[in-house]
Amino acid sequence: MARAIDGRHVEVPDLARLRQAHCTVEATRGLLYTGRGNVAQDIERTGGESLRGMIAARAVAGHLVGAGWPQVAASAAGAIAAGAGNCDEHAALAALLHVPRLRPQESLCQVISHEIPHVWTEVRGDGGPEDDLVMDAWLEGPAVFAPDGQWSDTPATKQEYFVQGGPEKACLDGLLAHSGAALHAWVEYERSQVPEGSLPPPGYAYPAMPAVSRAFERRIQRKLSGAGEAERAASAGVPREALEALPAMQDARRALRYGVQAVGVARQMTAGLGVRQAVAEVPALLYGAACRLRQRTS
């Protein structure tokens, strides 16, 4: 809905791709259920267990890499066994979980931000950067298109490298199938080496941050409120008398315009949805775009 308000309509094939990417984000969070080892809210919620789990996961992954296992597969395996990880582990696991969902022209890429020490996974297709999908389960919120993301909206401030998803996924699957119990026991040993109730060093833990960029959210809120609308209309040649309409009339026109858009979005999102049912979904869609764009979805 937010992209429709922003004048960037999402076509059905891209909506399907976005949904698949979000399924991967949710699956990643589900497997790393203990939480993030460097996010203050998760450390507090788990009494430090997300931190202990992350340390154990990294210890196991480090040994696996030393034994010749690929880095991405090793990071994902350690994280699954521990149920925890930082952004590196979330990115590695998301990449490998998404392999079965890749389309023929798609590839996986891990991206590193230069703004903060942060890594995530993107799905690249043949449609250009505007259609790249960000799967960042470490952040709060859904999968997003790269131009709308917290860190992915500034291409000049990041570097990237491609992930050999198929071979690394096969490594991960084989490792879990043949050594899953041993991995869990190994992680528990490494966890036992970290004192219970451990706290991170000062400056290590981050606050939870949303996946959607603040600039995108502000742009949507401005459009929904009508801020700057008169200036844009005047520059487009709208007659002065129309611009001087009563505020209530302007609000009504704007509500009608975005309401019609929301009906279209609702029917696109749910195949076969009737107009009456779509109209009933309008308030929730508009509220979500205005007030919940940067909130976690689960």
Q: Quote the domain boundaries for residue 182.
A: 2-192
Average pLDDT, the chain: 84
Confidence of residue 201 (pLDDT cuts 50, 70, 90): confident
In a domain, 207, yes or no: no
> pLDDT (tens digit, 9 = 90+) per residue, 55-111?
999 999 999 999 999 999 999 999 999 999 999 999 999 999 999 999 989 999 999
Same domain, 13 and 51: yes
Instruction: Please count the other Cβ atoms lying within 10 Å of the Cβ belonging to residue 273.
Output: 15
Same domain, 50 and 119: yes
Same domain, 129 and 275: no
Same domain, 103 and 61: yes
- The confidence score (pLDDT) of residue 295 equals 60
Same domain, 183 and 221: no
Same domain, 76 and 175: yes
pTM of the model: 0.80
- The confidence score (pLDDT) of residue 207 equals 94
In a domain, 88, yes or no: yes
> pLDDT (tens digit, 9 = 90+) per residue, 211-224?
888 888 777 777 76
Question: For 8-12, 62-66, 194-198, 265-269, which range has the lowest pLDDT when averaged over its residues?
Answer: 265-269
In a domain, 205, yes or no: no
In a domain, 34, yes or no: yes
In a domain, 199, yes or no: no
Are 44 and 205 spatial neighbours (Cβ–Cβ below 8 Å)? no
CA distances from 257 to 94, 262, 264 (A): 38, 9, 11
Domains contained in the chain, number: 2
Question: For 5-19, 37-51, 275-289, which range has the lowest pLDDT when averaged over its residues?
Answer: 275-289
Concatenating the DSSP letter of every residue in 138-178 gives TSBS--EEGGGBTTTT-GGGEEEEEE-HHHHHHHHHHHHHH
